[in-house]
Amino acid sequence: MRIVVLAGGTSTERDVSISSGIQVADALRKKGHEVVLLDIYTGYEKDILDVDELFKINYSFTDKIDVGVTISDIDEVVENRRDKSKRFIGESIIDICNCADITFLALHGGAGENGQVQAAFDLLGLRYTGSGYLGSALAMNKGLTKSVLIQKRILTPYGKIFKSEEDAKEWFQLPCVVKPCSGGSSVGIHIAATPEEYTAAVKEAFSYGENEIVVEDYIKGREFSVGLLGGKALPPIEIIPKSGFYDYKTKYQAGAAEDVCPADITPEQDKKLREAAEATFNALHLESYARVDFILDEKDNPYCLEANTLPGMTPTSLLPQEAKVEGMEYADLCEKIIEISLERYN
């Protein structure tokens, strides 16, 4: 097959996305596919475009990225763009994707995961992996996610949406969790135990350019994630940070957290987590594959925290670890995602 892998973009998860894209492209090439790896934002910035040649040489815009403890400088990425335009989709991206059998979206956060790219591709008749625009939009906005889960009677922490730092002053329950409404990779998320910590957390959450944030009750318990393929839950994985909580630094620095899969839980706990994950998948109109994060409290209640429509595929990511427990190696997982995604076009 001819496959385009799209990564990068301008979200706070840019580096994570590029890491995922490199891994996916390498794996699919080893399976014999012709794969072009592109940054969706910068595009293919050369005057002469020979699409057939790009697939023939398995072109990649980069072959290395280090995910650091802080996010990359997005302003620098924007400044260095050749055409200096304000459009999100870069030069020649559509032309190249149009010549592929499918586009593997290795995008995380921002326009790449919130349904905008998906809607554009639908209108252009381009096939892609993952959920469509509706499920992507619902899952990306944590406020909308919470509203849908409550409506469907799926357990989730009580929370409120605030549109300004002034409005957020009405929250009174501590400890609590403060997070940007549409962020990812735990960027900007803080657990606030004191009024001072809460004020600082709210200020930072608004600093990422969003006009609303989510504040919710802090649920004490064990943290789990459940991947899904075709709506069917994989074995739950438990995340045990060696210090603090599962933030951006802990997620992408090897050894910062212990991932236990299959999780050391009872059959009843396993069943609860899988059923809650599948219910969330269906409630949010997700497709193809996803990952849902939970806190299992002391009474074995699975509180859904959020759903990820384009789960990370980096060397430390959770979905590949869960799939491996089911006997599915990384490259096979990439092909399975493509296979499931193509079904909706048939």
The residue among 217, 251, 266 that closes a domain is: 217
Cα gap 285→136, rounded to integer Å: 8
48: CATH: 3.40.50.20
Please write the tens of the pLDDT for every residue from 208-217. 777 899 999 9
Provide long-range contacts, Cβ within 8 A and 24+ apart, for 218-222: 218/157, 218/175, 218/176, 218/177, 218/191, 219/157, 219/295, 219/297, 219/303, 220/295, 220/297, 220/298, 221/295, 221/296, 221/297, 221/298, 221/303, 222/295, 222/296
**Ranges of residues in the chain whose predicted pLDDT is under 70:** 67-72, 183-186, 243-256
Residue 261 lies in a domain: yes
Q: Which DSSP symbol is given to 112?
A: G
Contact assessment for residue 314 and residue 23, using Cβ atoms and an 8 Å cutoff: yes
Please write the tens of the pLDDT for every residue from 222-263. 999 999 999 999 999 999 987 555 444 544 455 567 999 999
- Pair (97, 83) in one structural domain: yes
Question: Residue 134 carries which side chain, given as an amino acid letter?
Answer: L
pLDDT confidence of residue 88: 95
CB environment 313-327: b (16+ within 10 A), e (fewer): bbebbbbbbbbbeee
- Pair (211, 226) in one structural domain: no
Domain that holds residue 281: 219-327
Residue 113 lies in a domain: yes
What are the counts of helices (DSSP H) followed by strands (DSSP E) for the chain?
12, 13
- Select from 68, 126, 141, 128 the least CA-distant residue to 314: 68
- Pair (94, 10) in one structural domain: yes
pLDDT confidence of residue 66: 73
pLDDT confidence of residue 31: 98
Task: Provide the domain count of the chain.
Answer: 3
- Pair (244, 267) in one structural domain: yes
Contact assessment for residue 226 and residue 294, using Cβ atoms and an 8 Å cutoff: yes
What is the pTM assigned to this prediction? 0.90
pLDDT confidence of residue 248: 46
